[in-house]
Each structure stands twice: as C-alpha cells, then as structure tokens.
Amino acid sequence: MEKVYVTKSFLPPVEEYEFYVRQIFDSHHLTNQGMLLQKFERSMSSFLNVDHFQYVTNGTVALQLALDALDIKDGEIITTPFSYVATTSSILWERCTPVFVDIEPNNFTIDVNKIEEAVTSKTKAILPVHVFGYACDVDGIQKIADKYGLKVIYDGAHAFAAKYKGRSLLDYGDISTCSFHATKLFHTVEGGACIVKDKEVDKKLGFAKCFGHDCDEYFRIGINAKQSEFHAAMGLANLVHLDEILQKRRNISELYDKLLNGCVERPKEQESLDYNYAYYPVLFKNEQELLNVFEALNAENIFPRRYFYPSLNKLSYLKKYMPCPISEDISSRVACLPLYPDLEKECIVKICQIIKKAQMGTN
C-alpha cells in the first residue's frame, strides 16, 4: 500500500500555476513586493474581509513580527502550552518570558478562566492559539486584555477560512497570525501572514518585514521577511479551489465521525463557529492505547501524527516548569488522523478498522 501521511499538500492543475509563472518570467520581477504578491495580499484581504493583510515568509516569523510591531520586547506573555513549538519559540526569540496557562478540555484552547490569575505587573500580552481551527474565547480574552491594558496576538496557524460570529477568526485581537505552510489546508508552499487591526501598527510591520526601509528612506530596524512571486503565485492558484478543498475535508471528517463514533473522543462543536476542518484530532483513553494504534497503523504504512506532544511547558530549555495538568494529559493521548482532499474512502474505512482492532488489543 502507498504510504499515507497525516496530510498531503493540495496542488492546483499545473497549467493554472504556470499561468502565473509565465507572468513572472515575462516581468523578471521575482521578489521585493512584486505584482503577484500585491494581488495576493488584496485577494486575501477581500476573502477575509480585513483591512490590513501582510504576507510574510512563514508563520513563525509572523509571530515575531507581531511582537515587534506591538513593541513587546521584554516582560511576560501569557500563552498556551498546547501548540506547536513555534508559538513558544517566537516568544523566547523576542527575549520575552512565556507564562503558561492550562487549557480547557473541550477544544484544547487556553482556559480563559485561568488567565487573569496569571497576570502580573510584568505581563505585556496574551498570545492564545486557535487550536485545530477551534476558536478561543475571544470575547473573554479581550475583556481581560482591556482590563489590564494588554495586547492580544492570536496564533491562527490553524484558523484560516474559519469564521466566528460571522467574522473571520483571524479578525480578532490586535494582530492575528497565520501559516500557509505546505501542511496547511490552504498553502503557498511556505508562507505566513499578519492580520493587523491598527493602521499605524500595520505600517510599522510592513517596514519591519522589508529591512525597515522603502527605497532609500530608512524608517526603523527590520528583517527580510518578504515573500517571493513564486509563492504568491501558488497562493493565487490555490485560492480558487478553496471551496472545493473545504467541502472535501468536511466530507472526510464526517465519514470519520460516523465510523469512529463511540471509539474515540473528539473536540466539542462550538456555537457560532463555521469550522474549517483543518485537522481531524482524536483523543484516546490513554497514551498506551495511542501507541498501540500508531504501531498498528504504521505497520500498514499509515502515519498519523501526535499534535501536540510534548506539552510545551515541559520543554527542557525553559528556565521554570509551570504545571499544566490538563495540557500534559491531553498531549499524551491526542493524535491527528490523515486528512486531505483526495484521501480515498477505502483508506478511511481501513484506518478506522485498524484503530478499532488495536483498541480491542489494548483492552
């Protein structure tokens, strides 16, 4: 059997990508905010219905730029331990201190009821994550931020195309970041974005991603976080297929739901959320059951992934351990099953059969 991984990058018909590549060859404009990149930024602003969209090299740099643009250079940042390591790494890279707040068990997002007790005189911002495309309690988080004068940066790496209360989930907070890495439901091969509320902050971030200057005028310190025309071309070619991608991911998820009903735990549905089917996370009874399932699936060339393990508060290079028992428990027994548009029904059925058989062996 051909190997089946947790995801498989969607690719548009090659002639659709070539249509944009020929424009690049004709113009000889490969990077430095070219015409295709500008078109992509406009298209994304329109799709998300946001005013300020900055396309950058990846989702990690997007977080770093967000911290910089909001002048968060020291102090503490309240965040979640249940995320990809880039969330914590970005905080540390900007010489700030992550303060971990445990998660709630329904959707694995930061527990808003535990945030306020973590606020100190050193707290500068809250950096939550919309895990697997599920929405954080954006209203509750904003109330706390307003009360204490804190900035809110959302790591929305999983949140593209999700809507909450009719708005893009990326349209909350002072800045929301996104990832367009090849593993995401919508990708530009590599890429990321910052969605910025304030016009002046957006201008500042725009300079920061381009070395801090515009032609011969220098405005601030910056880095090279610009994207190329070739990456923008992939984004433009993929965007027209987004509805098709989302529908196929939804159909696969619903088939999993039917076949695995009663066998695994799943995140709870959220009111007011138009879900994007970014992943298919499942929660096993314990870590041993997870490992048994993985062994059985791997034997058949099927490779799910542990999203996210370990709980980030347990990273060895952190100066201080902050207990987060719910995150530590969930991270030990959660996994994401294969999910991508052309995953065949026969494969999904086989995956579910293997899971059930492996669970019987565990019990």
- Residue 363's pLDDT is 56
Closest Cα to residue 48, out of 156, 143, 207, 138?
156
Residues forming a β-bridge with 282: 335
- Residue 217's pLDDT is 86
CATH number of 14-239, picked from 3.40.50.510, 3.50.50.60, 3.40.640.10, 3.90.1150.10: 3.40.640.10
Q: Name the token pair of 104.
A: 């709630």
- Residue 360's pLDDT is 85
User: Could you give the CA distance from residue 193 to residue 323 in angstroms, rounded to a whole number?
Assistant: 32
Contact indicator for 182, 157 with CB cutoff of 8 Å: no
- Residue 218's pLDDT is 87
* CATH 3.40.640.10 intervals, the chain: 14-239
Q: What is the pLDDT along the chain (363 residues), one digit of tens a residue?
A: 689 999 999 999 999 999 999 999 999 999 999 999 999 999 999 999 999 999 999 999 999 999 999 999 899 999 999 999 999 999 999 999 999 999 999 999 999 999 999 999 999 999 999 999 999 999 999 999 999 999 999 999 999 999 999 999 999 999 999 999 999 999 999 999 999 999 999 999 999 999 999 888 888 999 999 999 999 999 999 999 999 999 999 999 999 999 999 999 999 999 999 999 999 999 999 999 999 999 999 999 999 999 999 999 999 999 999 999 999 999 999 999 999 999 999 999 999 999 999 998 765
CA 264 to chain centre: 23
- Residue 362's pLDDT is 61
CATH superfamily of 241-362: Aspartate Aminotransferase, domain 1 (3.90.1150.10)
- Would you say how long the chain is, in residues? 363
Contact indicator for 178, 157 with CB cutoff of 8 Å: yes
- Residue 123's pLDDT is 98
* CATH 3.90.1150.10 intervals, the chain: 241-362
